């Protein structure tokens, strides 16, 4: 039986690759950690994988803005001076590949223009910038899944409780018209919500960064590209939950995101 092959990138500051790789393996994928330089040099190719994951952490050049420098590598670098890395990425998507970006990986997808995607593919129409608190936020947040979203990663989920750990997670769209378009197509896949009202909120610390419309995660119109600021790989076992000793029937909700991706590939690509 053909295995779902996952490429988990690391290097240049990425530091969540081990947890991410572990979770993909836990849900039955053949997951491999590959250094970014191996992709840039052509030693490894995207064509050999079904799922591409940009994990959380940091990237060199982040002092220019999170993922800013690396986004230029993916947009303009030529592998061995010949093949465009961007063209290889587009080919990967045309073959039905899935892309997941977590935290810094989400920032990278936005800076590359893979999100919001669609008719804006390759164009930066939004950004993720400094938290309103002007500090690094490390806390657990409650999230609402948009039931109208095409995002395949969130299938079967309504609410998720996940940790965030970032300094630049505030989502800002280019215009109000873009925001309306994202809403229309269900691309606002995940929002920070108040634990009591269960509604999207701008109230700190429930919205840890001040994101417009409480955006915590975006998908492209196909639902196959997904970026989120919270860390689903950090909730891969019930004991990861901060109150696991006091709660019963806990499910590691982060696992579902990875399970959905692997299941989608098995049912639609292999």
Please determine, for residue 119, whether its predicted confidence score (pLDDT) is greater than 80.
yes
Alpha-helix residue ranges (DSSP H) falling in the chain:
17-26, 36-41, 68-76, 85-94, 104-112, 176-184, 253-268
In this prediction, residue 115 has a pLDDT band, given cuts at 50, 70 and 90, of very high
The per-residue pLDDT for range 165-202, each reduced to its tens digit, is: 999 999 999 999 999 999 999 999 999 999 999 999 99
Give the percent of the chain with pLDDT over 90: 90
**What DSSP designation does 12 have?**
T
pTM of the model: 0.97
SS3 for 6? strand
Q: Which two tokens stand for residue 26?
A: 């836990």
Q: How far apart are CA 180 and CA 189, in angstroms?
A: 14
Which is it for strands 83-84 and 78-79: parallel, antiparallel or unpaired? antiparallel
Q: Which CATH number fits domain 5-268: 3.30.450.20, 2.60.40.10, 3.40.50.300, 3.40.50.880?
A: 3.40.50.880
- From residue 80, how far is each of 11, 197, 218, 249 by CA, in Å? 19, 54, 33, 52
Q: What residues act catalytically?
A: 103, 231, 233
- From residue 42, how far is each of 45, 70, 79 by CA, in Å? 6, 16, 6
| pLDDT at site 1 | 62
Please determine, for residue 20, whether its predicted confidence score (pLDDT) is greater than 80.
yes
């Amino acid at each position: 039986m053909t295995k779902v092959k996952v490429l988990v990138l690391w290097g240049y500051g990425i530091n969540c690759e081990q947890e991410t790789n572990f979770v993909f393996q836990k849900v039955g994928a053949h997951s491999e950690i590959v250094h970014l330089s191996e992709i840039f040099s052509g030693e490894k190719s995207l064509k050999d994988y079904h799922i591409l994951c940009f994990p959380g952490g940091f990237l060199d050049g982040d002092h220019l803005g999170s993922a800013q420098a690396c986004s230029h590598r993916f947009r303009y670098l030529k592998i061995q001076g010949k093949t465009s890395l961007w063209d290889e990425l587009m080919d990967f998507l045309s073959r039905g590949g899935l892309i997941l970006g977590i935290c810094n990986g989400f920032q990278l997808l936005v800076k590359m223009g893979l999100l919001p995607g669609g008719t804006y593919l390759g164009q930066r129409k939004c950004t993720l910038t400094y938290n309103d608190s002007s500090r690094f936020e490390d806390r657990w947040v409650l999230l609402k899944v948009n039931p109208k979203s095409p995002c395949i990663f969130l299938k079967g989920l309504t609410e998720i409780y996940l940790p965030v750990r970032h300094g630049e997670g505030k989502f800002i769209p280019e215009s109000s018209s873009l925001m309306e378009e994202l809403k229309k197509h269900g691309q606002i896949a995940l929002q920070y919500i108040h634990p009591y009202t269960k509604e999207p909120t701008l109230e700190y610390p429930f919205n840890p960064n001040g994101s417009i419309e409480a955006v915590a995660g975006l998908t492209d119109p196909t639902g196959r590209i997904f970026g989120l600021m919270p860390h689903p790989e950090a909730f891969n076992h019930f004991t990861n939950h901060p109150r696991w000793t006091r709660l019963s029937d806990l499910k590691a909700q982060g696992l579902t995101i990875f399970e959905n991706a692997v299941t989608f590939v098995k049912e639609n690509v292999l």
